[in-house]
């Protein structure tokens, strides 16, 4: 029993030490909100603030995961680096907070998913480290369904003050509500054709209905 207690104490001590080191570098979001955009957008940005407790030299390392030739860039506190630079060193003061920006360049490629894992560690003590994830999801305008092909899909009621129903769907779909600037403000995944818009400000919105290989666009009015 004594040996077991010693082993458990050692494991606990090591865990506490690792946790303390990780807390020396903190992010606003360990996993940033997924950024949604069309593949025609030239530059899609995702922002995340990082706070570093101790002053010194730090290095970031980028790992990109994607299924298409999307390009990326990372901007630290000093400058931006394109995809051919996967690591860079920067200096920070104690308790300094700044924004690390991930840029995604779709290049008109219908890329539905890309992810950047950004790891930051202290050069003199690599055990002081932390990783944040940036993600992008593109809807593909080249696969959009025309009004003729999507003629059977309608929104009821329209105008609406609460639940918006999509009539004519033959399968589940992802429903995305965007404002006049194209920004996603509501999302319902694996929906059977209903989305609650009661909390939206009155106005005109777009509903994007994402199917497996197409997107149907419909406009609605929130009362």
Which phi and psi angles does 16 have, rounded to 5°? -65, -40
pLDDT digits (tens, 9 = 90+) for 163-205: 999 888 777 888 889 887 677 889 888 788 889 999 999 888 8
The domain over range 144-222 is classified in CATH as 2.60.40.3080: yes
Which phi and psi angles does 4 have, rounded to 5°? -65, -40
> Over 60: is that where the pLDDT of 4 sits?
no
CA within 13 Å, CB half, 91: 2
The CA distances from residue 103 to 65, 174, 177, in Å, are 14, 25, 23
Which phi and psi angles does 189 have, rounded to 5°? -90, 150
Beta strands 163-167 and 154-156: pairing type? antiparallel
Tell me whether the CATH fold assigned to 24-139 matches the one assigned to 144-222.
Answer: yes
**Count of Cβ atoms closer than 10 Å to residue 182 Cβ:** 12
Instruction: Give the closest residue to 222 by CA, choosing from 186, 189, 171, 172.
Output: 186
CA–CA dist 78, 105 (Å, integer)? 21
The predicted pLDDT at position 147 comes to 45
> Over 70: is that where the pLDDT of 151 sits?
no
> Over 90: is that where the pLDDT of 118 sits?
yes
Q: 24-139, which class in CATH?
A: mainly beta
Rounded to two decimals, the pTM is 0.61
Map the chain to HEC letters: CHHHHHHHHHHHHHHHHHHHHHCCEEECCCECCCEEEECCCCCEEEEEEEEECCCEEEEEEEEEEECCCCEEEEECCCCEECCCCCEEEEEECCCEEEEEEEEEECCCCCCCCEEEEEEEEECCEEEEEEEEEEEEEEECHHHECCCCCCCCCEEECCCECCEEEEECCCCCEEEEEECCCCCEEEEEEEECCEEECCCCCCEEEEEEEECCCCEEEEEEEEC
Output the six-digit token pair for 18.
């690792």
Percentage above 70 pLDDT, the chain: 80
More confident position, 124 or 38: 124
What average pLDDT does range 36-65 have in this prediction? 89
- Domain definitions of the chain by residue range: 24-139, 144-222
> Over 80: is that where the pLDDT of 155 sits?
yes
For the beta sheet containing 215-222, the strands, ordered from the edge strand earlier in sequence to the opposite edge, are: 184-191, 173-178, 203-210, 215-222
């Amino acid at each position: 029993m004594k040996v077991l207690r010693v082993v458990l104490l050692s494991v606990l001590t090591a865990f506490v030490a690792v946790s303390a080191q990780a807390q020396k570098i903190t992010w606003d979001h360990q996993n940033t909100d997924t950024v949604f955009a069309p593949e025609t957008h030239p530059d899609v940005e995702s922002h995340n603030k990082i706070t570093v407790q101790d002053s010194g030299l730090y290095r970031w390392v980028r790992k990109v995961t994607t299924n298409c030739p999307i390009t990326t860039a990372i901007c630290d506190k000093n400058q931006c680096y394109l995809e051919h630079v996967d690591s860079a060193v920067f200096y920070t003061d104690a308790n300094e907070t700044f924004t690390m920006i991930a840029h995604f360049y779709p290049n008109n490629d219908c890329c539905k998913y890309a992810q950047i894992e950004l790891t930051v560690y202290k050069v003199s003590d690599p055990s002081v480290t932390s990783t944040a994830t940036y993600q992008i999801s593109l809807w593909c305008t080249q696969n959009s369904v025309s009004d003729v092909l999507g003629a059977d899909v309608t929104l009821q009621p329209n105008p609406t003050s609460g639940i918006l129903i999509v009539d004519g769907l033959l399968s589940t779909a992802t429903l995305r509500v965007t404002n006049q600037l194209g920004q996603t403000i509501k999302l319902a995944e694996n929906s059977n054709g209903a989305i609650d818009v009661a909390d939206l400000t009155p106005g005109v919105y777009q509903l994007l209905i994402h199917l497996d290989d197409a997107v149907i666009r419909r406009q609605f009015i929130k009362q």
